[in-house]
Amino acid sequence: MTDTPSTPDTPDDSGERIAKVLAHAGIASRREAERLIEKGRVSVNGEILRTPAFKVMPDDDVRVDGESIGQRPPTRVWRYHKPVGLLTTHSDPQGRETVFQTLPQDMGRVISVGRLDLNSEGLLLLTNDGELARVLELPSTGWTRRYRVRAYGNASDKALAELENGTVVDGVVYGPVEVTVDRRTGANVWLTVGIKEGKNREVRKVLQSVGLTVNRLMRVAYGPFQLGSLKRGDISESKLSVLRDQLGKLYPLDTDGQPLKPGETAKPDTRTGTAKAKPKANRPHQKSGGKAKSGPDADSIMPAGGKSKSGKGWAKAKPKANEKPKSNKRADGKPSGGKKAEGRKDADRRRRS
């Protein structure tokens, strides 16, 4: 091993902390990255690091166990329906099956956002961005984790309502817990529980403090991400447009899925937008007694108010099939000619006389 490389003689705001770089690359979370550095498994420009207090420049060659971490990939997030019986860990000393052993190989290395214990099921967020995982796990983020819970016991509505003020269990302080009673069936009660901190086995311990033993626990939402109709063991990746919308200012991403630095704004996405409709082909000319038309005639469209713009009037209706043509004869059999016809008759009588 060599001595720890010295931090470049540059302003304090240049470069990124090595632990953050490893987290962004999906190698490990910040805490795990610090442990890797302590074990001497991380090098920068060929020199082994001994402390995480080191900033990496864009052109630095960062390696873990001798392998380059490569360029930072776009941020990706998956929704996974964790079944009961899987551990949320990358390795288990007892050899039990883990979540990550069941995932498709082409996903690469991913990190869970928080954890679900062995006997819990439901929504588990996975990401290739360790820094994003850290941000989403922070209580200050304010995202609510919502659970569907079945518990054994008889807790009063008053005791459950008081959990919204926070509680202390075995010396551990827990923040507000929202509890809604959905229904009671015999000795069991079905609840909807919402928490914001996500401490170790928080839901089970808090409900135990009011006399309820959880026998089924399913996470149905993590902030804006919902379990929805995702079946047990299934996984679904969120689209980049959805990520940018749901993460918002909390963890802004550019149009390529890269995190934006403070003060940066995303460039307009030239790859998206509404496609322009192709112009319709001209219809074949139709004979209508006039000039052939190659498109709609504005004068043939009735405007608001019911009058034509052209003043040409509307085409006369064709006579009905069973309608007889009108006759000039009157009902008494005599032709109908009006006053002019009567005048001609009088002149004829005078000439004959």
Pairing state between β 67-68 and 213-222: unpaired
Q: Return the percent helix, strand and coil in the chain, to nearest 5.
A: 20, 25, 55
352: left (phi over 0), alpha (psi -120 to 50) or beta: alpha
Return the CA Rg of the chain. 39
Q: Which residues are bridge partners to 37 per DSSP? A: none
Asked if 27 and 109 touch (Cβ cutoff 8 Å), the reply is yes
Q: How many CA atoms lie within 13 A of 13 on its CB side?
A: 2
Q: What does the CA dihedral 64, 240, 252, 258 come to, rounded to 10 degrees?
A: 40
Whether 117 sits among the annotated catalytic residues: the reply is yes
Q: Which of 117, 245, 297, 299 is catalytic?
A: 117
H/E stretch holding 134 reads helix 130-137
Q: Among all residues, which ones are annotated catalytic? A: 117
